[in-house]
A and B are shown apart, each in its own frame.
Chain A
Amino acid sequence: MTAPSVQGGRRTPVLRWSVTAGLIAVIGILGIAGALSGWIWPLLFLCGAVAVGLRLGRRPWLVVGMVVVTAVLMSAPDSLVAYVGTVWIWLAAHVGAAALVGSARRWTPAGTVVLWHLAFLLPRPERRLWRDEIRSVLHACADDAELRRQVRGYLTAVPATVVTSWRTRR
């Protein structure tokens, strides 16, 4: 018996994250050591903006916004940099939070997969029966709304199912 496929279980390759983290670390160390002059930072920021924009492909406005902000940062007088920077940090925090929430949603296994694993809480003879029952019920659901309702029903009833299963098996 196999568990249903995990929907949206896309995982970022470890190599890409390692390279990104390595680059950030190298630039950070060079910056701390004073090896990079002041003008390099807006350019690095611009590269970062383009990279993030390409990664979040469905949000082209983000790239445009980052480029504009970078241009403003590079051309604005020092007195304005703090204001532009504040607006940018505020925006970046929201985008970052949205990206985190999105990732968490993508990596959370579907309810059916969770149910499959929760079957291990039941007495051994009961597991297969429960899974088969769930499979037959979910297969009969006509639409996604009904499917979600039934999955939620099974998930919320897990404690009662587990306790009843063990009690009735005694």
Chain B
Amino acid sequence: MKKAPRMTLQTQAVLAVLLERETWGFDLSRASGLPAGTIYPILQRLTAAGWVTSRWEQAEAAQEEGRPARRYYALTTEGRARAVNALTEAAKQRTRLTGLLSPDPSGEQA
């Protein structure tokens, strides 16, 4: 069984975008707010874990638009299920942490 990738905030942002749509480096960067250079190793780890798959678009299609070919990334079936679980778990942890950090009105000292 492949090792699950570390669920950093950046990884969560990338997964959140990938859950919405198949996308490519620059679009992923814009949607997640992270530089594409930061995203690249994350995608490598997700690909190695089997969560993400990638494909290069047809060179002819890119040439028609006068730009380089793009590499599109998408979640695999297994990756999608794991990403949903991972993001749900991360959201729960954030809620727990927020609850611990926020002051409890009933617990105020006189």
Residues of A in contact with B (beta carbons under 8 Å apart) = 129-130, 132-137, 139-141, 149-150, 152-158, 160-161, 163-165, 167-168
In the bound complex, CA of A150 to CA of B48 (Å): 24
Nearest CB on B from A142, distance (A): 10
Distance, CA A156 to CA B44, complexed state (A): 16
With a cutoff of 8 Å between Cβ atoms, the chain A residues found around residue B48 in the complex are: 167-168
**A163 CB contacts on chain B under 8 angstroms:** 41
The minimal Cβ–Cβ distance linking A91 to chain B, given in whole angstroms, is 42
> With a CB–CB cut-off of 8 A, which chain A residues contact B44?
161, 164-165, 168
Interface size, chain B (Cβ < 8 Å): 21
Q: Give the residues in chain B near A135, CB-CB below 8 Å.
A: 68
Return A109 CB to nearest CB of chain B, in Å.
Answer: 18
Query: Complex formed: what's the CA distance from A139 to B25 in Å?
Result: 11
Q: Is B94 an interface residue (CB 8 A)?
A: no
Q: Whose C-beta in chain A lies nearest to the C-beta of B48?
A: A168
Verify B38–A133 contact, CB threshold 8 A.
Answer: no
Q: How far is the CB of A133 from chain B (nearest CB, A)?
A: 5
Residues on the A chain within 8 Å of B37, using CB = 150, 152-158, 161
Interface of A is mostly: helix
CB within 8 Å for A136 and B35 given contacts A164-B41, A164-B45, A168-B47: no
In the complex, the chain A residue whose C-beta lies closest to that of B38 is: A157
Quick one: given A164-B45, A165-B44, are A139 and B67 in contact (CB under 8 Å)? yes
Q: Is B71's CB within 8 Å of the partner chain A?
A: yes
Tell yes or no: B70 within 8 A of A by CB. Answer: yes
Give A152 to B35 CA distance when docked, in angstroms.
8
The residue from A129, A137, A158, A167 contacting B36, defined by CB atoms under 8 A apart: A137
